[in-house]
Amino acid sequence: MTKLAIAANGLRKSYGDQVVLDGVDLAVPEGTVFSLLGPNGAGKTTAVKILSTLVRADPGTGDIHIGGHNLATDPQAVRAAIGVTGQFSAVDGLITGEENMLLMADLHHLSRSEGRRTAAELLERFDLVEAAKKPASTYSGGMKRRLDIAMTLVGNPRIIFLDEPTTGLDPRSRHTMWQIIRELVSDGVTVFLTTQYLDEADELADRIAVLNDGRIAAHGSAAELKRLVPGGHVRLRFTDPAAYQGAARTLGDATRDDDSLALRVPNDGSQRELRSILDRLDLAGIEADELTVHTPDLDDVFFALTGSADIPSQSKEAVR
Ligand SMILES: Nc1ncnc2c1ncn2[C@@H]1O[C@H](COP(=O)(O)OP(=O)(O)O)[C@@H](O)[C@H]1O
Ligand SMILES: [Mg+2]
């Protein structure tokens, strides 16, 4: 059995009469990236705060284990095992990046020389050597996030919570952050990542859970989630109107786009269904000029599950 870095059963939290988390189960195997996906206000930060001992879960919540430690009875051990990079930066803008790092080293009771060595290593690793002596308030958004993560790593945590680490970053800085997260994972670190961005979860996460109305609306790998929603189809485009008309007759279940001489045929993306379409066209002696297979993406899943249209789509195209 794989060991779980994070295990929570029936996580509950209300603020006043607002139920934020209404019985959320989480199980994150060691060394994997788990993404908690949800729109603004879904309860992602609340979940991170509970799991990282900063906020207490409501009575009725089941056992929570982090790094094998019981969160209720041994919060000290949990804190020693984890690192948290909050949604809002912990960087002190008035002091330099290096001073921020040394402050963290102090908090972790590293010796003076060890603190300096660790700070220097991490500043180097996160490409902050040049900026190290400048006040952090002068840093760009991407640099602040990198410093934030570098500070989180001072204690060498094996489990890291990253709460919306790329929100508000430009595409280039997002990619740098993704690279950083991949490197953490290749070092064997477990990453609990919250995000509003489907492409981010798709890119990084081994498993994804979609949080909606205080509950996990769906969970699984990106591929598994995509299979939950219909929307897959094959698009055939023609230049010859006669071929187009012939294909439309042959494939009875196609949706026509007469203007661009294109047909859209429902398809689950399987080899069998694709072959059946091609066989029918071959039999009729028709050849399409262009054939594309569209499989549903996480956007389709997200909309199907949450019915929410007001998530930031960020510069998704630009990012790719
Ligand atoms: N300390 C608090 N007091 C009252 N309400 C809160 C508090 N923290 C969060 N909330 C509410 O809980 C809901 C979930 O918030 P949050 O966990 O920050 O969502 P997310 O991080 O997914 O955007 C929001 O409606 C928010 O207003
Ligand atoms: Mg949040």
Supply the residue whose CA is at minimum distance from atom 27 of ligand 1: 41
**Residue 310: what pLDDT?**
42
| Residue 37: band (very low, low, confident or very high) from pLDDT cuts 50, 70, 90 | very high
Atom index in ligand 1 nearest the CA of residue 47 equals 17
- The mean pLDDT of 305-314, rounded to a whole number, is 51
- pLDDT given at position 318: 32
Which pLDDT score, from 0 to 100, does residue 270 have? Answer: 78
- DSSP H/E element including 47: helix 44-51
What is the structure's pLDDT at 311?
A: 38
Under a CB-based contact definition with an 8 Å cutoff, are residues 265 and 277 in contact? Answer: yes
Specify the pLDDT at position 259: 92
Name the 3-class secondary structure at 134: coil
Give the position of tokens 């900026």: 131
Give the pocket of ligand 1 (CB within 6 Å).
15, 20, 38, 40-46
Q: Quick one: pLDDT at residue 302?
A: 76
Structure-model confidence comparison of residues 319 and 39, the more confident one: 39
- Report the phi/psi class of residue 213: left, alpha or beta, with left for phi > 0 and alpha for psi in -120 to 50: left
**Selected residue with higher pLDDT from 315 and 138:** 138
Nearest atom in ligand 1 to the alpha carbon of residue 43 is 17
Q: What is the pLDDT of residue 296?
A: 75
DSSP string for residues in 137-176: GGS-HHHHHHHHHHHHGGG--SEEEEESTTTT--HHHHHH
Bridge partners for 219 per DSSP: 209
Mean predicted lDDT score pLDDT of the chain: 90
CA 199 – ligand 2 centroid, Å: 18
How many Å lie between the centroid of ligand 2 and the Cα of residue 51?
A: 14
Q: Do 266 and 254 contact (CB within 8 A), yes or no?
A: no
Q: Which atom of ligand 1 is nearest to the CA of 211?
A: 22
For ligand 1, what atom is nearest to the CA of residue 49?
Answer: 17
The confidence score (pLDDT) of residue 299 equals 73
What was the pLDDT predicted at 204? 95
pLDDT tens figures, 137-168 = 999 999 999 999 999 999 999 999 999 999 88
Q: What sign results for the dihedral spanned by CA atoms 296, 301, 304, 307? A: negative
Per-residue H/E/C for 262-319 = EEEEECCCCHHHHHHHHHHHHHCCCCCCEEEEECCCHHHHHHHHHCCCCCCCCCHHHH
Give the pLDDT confidence score for residue 307 in this predicted structure. Answer: 67
Position 201 scores a pLDDT of: 92
**Max avg pLDDT among 55-59, 224-228, 232-236, 264-268:** 55-59
Q: How confident is the model at residue 278 (pLDDT cuts 50, 70, 90)?
A: very high
Q: Give me the mean pLDDT over the 178-200 stretch.
A: 93
Instruction: Using the mean position of ligand 1's atoms as its centre, give its distance from the Cα of residue 234 in Å.
Output: 42
Percent pLDDT > 90 in the chain is 74
Residue located nearest, by CA, to atom 24 of ligand 1: 41
The predicted structure's pLDDT at residue 222: 87
Residue identifier of the C-alpha nearest atom 6 of ligand 1: 15
